[in-house]
Amino acid sequence: MLGLSNALVHNALLDAWAVLVPVDCAGCAAPDRALCPACRGSLAPAPAWHQLPDGTPAVSGLDYAGTVRQVILAFKEKGRTDLARQLAAPLTVALEQIAPAAGRMPPELAPVPTSRASYRRRGYDPVAILVRRAGLSASRVLRHSRGTLEQKTLDMESRSRNLAGSLRAAYPLNGRSFILVDDVMTTGATLAEAARAIREAGAAVTAAVTVAHTARLIPGDSSSS
Ligand SMILES: [Zn+2]
């Protein structure tokens, strides 16, 4: 009986080890490398300026395509939190770029929180990990409003309709000033909703930064080719 339970523990440890120790490159699946040198090179920061739908200036650190996309997906959806260090670098560069435009220094950071459903699925909040890994401090000023759990079941049109009001400030923010932080910017609608929630709580939102952006989907974006 003791032997059987030891075997079970042993197998559980091996499973845990396989999860904890990455064996394939997150970018190209080359074996035995967490991130091979070539893929590491493609994460070199390439900051680009954008504008949220509400006019707020934003800077992203990378183009969300190819290797970058693979690495971010592995980080967000496959438990590869070991990639946070590599992805924190482009976020830091984006923040350095936007800081002069953001006014007050040092700025307060407001990370866009992961939804409750995503948190249950992943077991972690990717943006919170990135902020920590970048050596930055941030307040958890944003919360998901009740009802966002059902977002997943809605079609695209209903989703964008429901995005309005999906975030709220956790407490009054009178007189404070924030830079929003998120992982990937697509249309900028989520960041605009985050800005709306913070402004509604009495604070200013001067800028936004993301690790990456999807170039073609940002309305009015002229900074990326
Ligand atoms: Zn690779």
> DSSP E strands: which ranges in 36-102?
48-51, 57-63
Its pTM stands at: 0.81
Spatial CA neighbour of 129 closest among 87, 70, 68: 87
Q: How much distance in Å is there from the Cα of 82 to the middle of ligand 1?
A: 15
Q: How much distance in Å is there from the Cα of 121 to the middle of ligand 1?
A: 26
Q: How much distance in Å is there from the Cα of 44 to the middle of ligand 1?
A: 14
Q: How much distance in Å is there from the Cα of 106 to the middle of ligand 1?
A: 36
Q: How much distance in Å is there from the Cα of 95 to the middle of ligand 1?
A: 26
**Tokens 């939190």 belong to which residue?**
81
Note the pLDDT tens digit of each residue in 186-207: 889 899 999 999 999 999 999 9
Distances (CA, A) of 90 to 130, 183, 211: 10, 10, 6
Q: Which residues contact 90 (CB under 8 A, 6 or more apart)?
A: 43, 45, 46, 47, 60, 61, 62, 211, 212
Contact 85, 130 (CB under 8 A): no
Most confident among 132-146, 160-174, 195-209 (mean pLDDT): 195-209
Contact 43, 71 (CB under 8 A): yes
Note the pLDDT tens digit of each residue in 3-61: 556 666 665 665 555 456 656 899 999 887 889 999 999 999 999 999 998 899 999 99
Contact 214, 184 (CB under 8 A): yes
Handedness of CA 55, 57, 62, 68 (dihedral sign): negative
Provide the b/e sequence for 173-210 (b: ≥16 CB within 10 Å). Answer: beebbbbbbbbbbbebbbbbbbbbbbbebebbbbbbbb
Q: How much distance in Å is there from the Cα of 179 to the middle of ligand 1?
A: 32
